[in-house]
Amino acid sequence: AGGTVTVSAAHDEDKADYSAEVGALASAGGEILVVAGYANGAGTQIIQGSLDAGAFDTFVLPDGMVGQDIVDTIGPDLTGSFGQYPGTDSKGADMFVAMALGASLNNPVEAFGGSDAFAPESYDAAALIMLAMQAAGSTDSAAVKEHIMAVANAPGEQIMPGELGKALDMIKAGKDIDYVGATAVELIGPGESAGNYREIEIKDGAVATVAFR
């Protein structure tokens, strides 16, 4: 089933009050508010303002709006809201979550969640750049670009999170690798990847995964 967009409006970050924006959104009608912002910024304030004004009670949370922090901040009123962000249920994703947990236990000051929005994607992006540098034998961006596809895709031995040292040694020895990483990396063209995403819903005071697509 589809829907109708009644209004699309930009918002500024770091304002003290968003009542005017909430009022304009409410006056346009609509049953659900899509909040394309950041959980640690204006997005949370817009949701709280909408709830306080009785303007909306269900929200769509894309990408940077997904996280336990916003659930804790808003509380039970966020129950039933839903959203999506990049994610996969692959073996690599589970390995990355375990790695993140181990790193966080060893260094709580720099703790992070392995399933946080864009955490695994950031890890894989850095890994691909490093591996392509090794394959190119250079840090020149043009040379690195020419080797990204080769290290990201088959043929070659699959490389999972935590196996970058092994991958570097294999490339140095002239062997092929297929970097799978934390997000089941598969590049299908220059600047293009075969995307996967996670559908979530807020229930029981937490971000619950509904499905992977």
Mean pLDDT on 137-164: 96
Dihedral sign from CA coordinates of 57, 52, 11, 6: positive
> Among candidates 56, 100, 104, which has minimal Cα distance to 78?
56
- The residue ranking higher by pLDDT, 175 or 68, is 175
Say whether pLDDT at 14 is over 90: no
> Domain residues of the chain, as ranges?
19-86+197-212, 91-193
Q: What pLDDT score was predicted for residue 119?
A: 87
Do the beta carbons of residue 7 and residue 25 sit within 8 Å?
yes
Nearest to 58, CA basis, from 202, 211, 213, 156: 202
Band (138; pLDDT cuts 50, 70, 90): very high
Write out the two tokens for 167: 């991958």
Indicate yes or no: pTM above 0.85: no
**Contact status, residue 167 vs residue 179, Cβ threshold 8 Å:** yes
Predicted confidence band of residue 189 (pLDDT cuts 50, 70, 90): confident
Rounded CA separation 176/169 (Å) = 11
Nearest CA-CA partner of 151 in 118, 202, 186, 120: 186
| CATH node for 19-86+197-212 | 3.40.50.2300
Residue listed under structure tokens 């260094």: 107
pLDDT of 200 over the 70 cut: yes
Confidence of residue 107 (pLDDT cuts 50, 70, 90): low
